[in-house]
Amino acid sequence: MGYRWDWEVFLRDTGGDQTYLEWMLSAWGWTLSVAACSWIIALAVGVFIGTLRTLPSRALTTIGNAWVELFRNIPLLVQIFLWYHVVPALFPVMRSAPSFLLVICALGFFTSARVAEQVRAGIQSLPSGQRNAGLAMGLTLAQTYRFVVLPMAFRIIIPPLTSEAMNIIKNSSVAFAVSISELTLFALQAQEETSRGIEIYLAVTSLYMMSAFAVNRVMAWIERRVRVPGYVGAGR
């Protein structure tokens, strides 16, 4: 195909005192910070909810299950709209919240349901003797979780958490819908302004792939660092 490439588009001025390249790099920064902040929320909430679902209390298990079903059965885009349009209207406290905060709550809670599912599976995959041994030694249930169950469960679930971490980078692209100036919104707007869609999409796509690959490497490194010799397989 006789397509005439025009990579100089990235050096063109956007009319806002910066080039498209600079705009793209700052958009990349937004993508990474949305993903990173949401990941922190997702991990914290997900570990909490996932642990609830394994406790010997019927009520807590039900709460945990309801949480997971709620956040898993509504599309991410709808959840983002809920946080962006509905939450500020229902709770006046949130009215002045920046959209960045609302988006990381949406993405974080959405992912927390998936993390909770992995955490529950990880805890339940441990032989029950481990928990019983902890309790038999006189540890309280909380201590058993803190010193026996969770440290092993975390190591087991690192591979599925790796793919969730890569998913969160990809899912951060949905934030374009509420005008977070991340990579996808940059791609849409720059494509419209310059009509050099192919060059711009190629650059944006490779930034997404690089980010996901970097996450993959970091998680593999963590997996190697924390492995218990002779127990859980090492990262690739």
Would you call 161 exposed, middle or buried from its count of C-beta atoms within 10 A (0-12, 13-18, 19+)?
buried
| 229 backbone φψ class: left, alpha, beta (φ>0; ψ -120 to 50) | beta
70 binds another protein (CB under 8 A): yes
C-alpha gyration radius of the chain: 22
Tokens of 87: 């939450």
Q: Which x/- pattern, by CB under 8 A, does the window 157-196 give for another protein?
A: ---------x--xxxxxx-xx------x--xx--x-----
Q: SS3 for 232? A: coil
Please choose, out of 7-15, 21-29, 38-46, 199-207, the segment that lies near another protein by the rule CB under 8 A. Answer: 199-207
208 binds another protein (CB under 8 A): yes
CB of 209 to another protein, least distance (A): 5
Q: Which x/- pattern, by CB under 8 A, does the window 71-110 give for another protein?
A: -xxxxxxxx-xx--xx--xx--------------------
Tokens of 16: 């806002």
CB of 136 to another protein, least distance (A): 33
Distances (CA, A) of 30 to 24, 40, 121, 147, 205: 10, 15, 32, 37, 15
Binding residues with another protein: total (CB under 8 A): 38
The footprint of another protein (CB under 8 A) covers: 69-70, 72-79, 81-82, 85-86, 89-90, 166, 169-174, 176-177, 184, 187-188, 191, 197-198, 201, 204-205, 208-209, 212-213
